[in-house]
Structure 1
Amino acid sequence: MLAVQQLEAGYGESVILREVTLKVKPGQVVCLLGRNGVGKTTLMKSIMGVLKARRGAVSYKGTDLTKQAPGRRAKSGIGYVPQGREIFGQLTVYENLLLGLEASREKERTVPEEAIAKFPVLKTMYGRRGGDLSGGQQQQLAFARALASRPEVLLLDEPCEGIQPSIVDDIRDVIRSIKVDGQTAILLVEQSLEFVKSVGDYFYVLDKGAVVWEGGLESLSDDVIKKYLTV
C-alpha cells in the first residue's frame, strides 16, 4: 500500500533521516516509535511531500510519489493529521471539514457521514470557529477532516499529544474501528507505548534518523523498549 525506500531528508545542511525503509500493508496499523528528536515527524512530512526527499523513494500502490506535490499525494488517497493539528482557527468547524474534501478523488461537496459519525460531538459545533475549540476537540476536527476525503492510508502524527484522557480513549476507539473496517491503513506516530500496543499490528523504531528495529507486537520486548524508547 505505502512503501518508503532508502529515504534521506533533512533541513538546510542537516540530515535527519538516513536511508529509512518501511512499508504499510492494506488494513494495517503500523506504529512508528522513538524518542523525541529522532526524525518521526520529519518522516511523516517527507511521506506527505511537505518536506522534499533528498534521496530514496516514496511509493503508493505501486506509483512513485517522490517528486509529486503534497496535494497530488493527498488526492491519490493519503490522509494526514499533522502534529499540532493545524486546523484553521478563523474558519468554522464545518468549513474546516469542507476543506478536507479538497483531497477527495470523487469531487464530493458534502462531508461524508462516516467521517462525522466517528466524532459525533462535532455535529453540535458546526457553527463554532475552530480556534474556539479545546485542544482535544481540535484534534477530533483534524482527524475528521482527514477522513472526509476517504483516504486509503492515514498518517497520524501524535494524535494524543496534550489532550484529555477521555478524548484519547475516543481516538483509540476510532483507530480500532478503522482497523476493523479494513478499508484504511494507518501509519501512527505516538509516544505512549500503552496506546500503540493497544492498536498496532507492526512496529518500527527510529533512532538518530534510522530504522533500528522492526517487528510485531510479540517481538517488542523489554530489551528493545529499554534500549531505544526509555528516556
Structure 2
Amino acid sequence: MGLSNWPDICLGSLTPLLPEDFPIDEDHEFKPDNFYFLKGCVHFKNTAQILDMTNKVKKSRWRDFSQSFLRDVDNAAKKADEEQEKPKYEIKSCGEMMRTIKTMVDGQKGEKICELSMTFVSFDSSMVRFPDKEHSRHPLEICPVEAGSENKHECFVRHSIPYFWDMSSQFGTLYKCLNQKRVKIASICAFGFGKDAVLAIEGDQLDDVCALSTCIILLNGRDAMDH
C-alpha cells in the first residue's frame, strides 16, 4: 500500500523528501524479472537503443550482475545486432543551452512515448512528460536530494508514491516507498566500456518506461557536461 494521501506534486519544495525518512526494508528480497540492455545510453549525443533481454537471458544466473549473467546479456546483445533486430525503445536527442531534450520512441512503430528534459544545474529538476496516460497519469519531476552531498540521490513521485534513485555506489539502485519503508525494485550496472548499461527490475513494481526514462536522466544529466 502506497502513500495514497500524498498529492502528485513537484518535489522542489521547502521540505523535500529525504531517503532517511524511509528506512530500507531489509526483509524484502530483490527478485528482478525484467532485464534491459541500454545500448549507448550513457552520455550519448545522437541516438541510443534499449533492448529487452527478459526472454533472452537465463534468470537463474541472476546474482547481482554476476559474470555469467552479464555474459548472457553480451551474447544476446551481439546476436540481436547480427540479426539487425529492432530495439524495444530508441532515445533520440537534440541539444539546448543548459538543458538536453531527449525523446523516447517505440522501436518498432516509431511512435513517441515520452520526452525527457534534463538539466545540468545541480539544484534544478529534470522532467519526463508523456503524450498520454498509458505510462503515467502526470509528468515525472526528478529532483536532487541533499544537493552538494556525496550521496547521489534523486527522487520522483508517481501516482502519489515516492521513488528514490541512489547512484552513489557501484550499482545504481531504485527504491519504491511502501508502508513508510524503501523497497529495492531495480538496479543498474555499467557495462562494456562505459557507454552501455544493464537494468534489472521487478516489473510489477513500476512501469518500465518510467524506470528507464528516469534512469536515462541520471545517466546523462548533471554530471554529463564534460562528456
Interval of TM-score (by shorter of Structure 1 and Structure 2): under 0.3
Q: Which has the higher contact order (CA 8 A, sep 6+)?
A: 1
**When the two structures are superposed, what TM-score results if normalisation uses the length of structure 2?**
0.27
**When the two structures are superposed, what TM-score results if normalisation uses the length of structure 1?**
0.27
Of Structure 1 and Structure 2, the greater strand share is in: 2
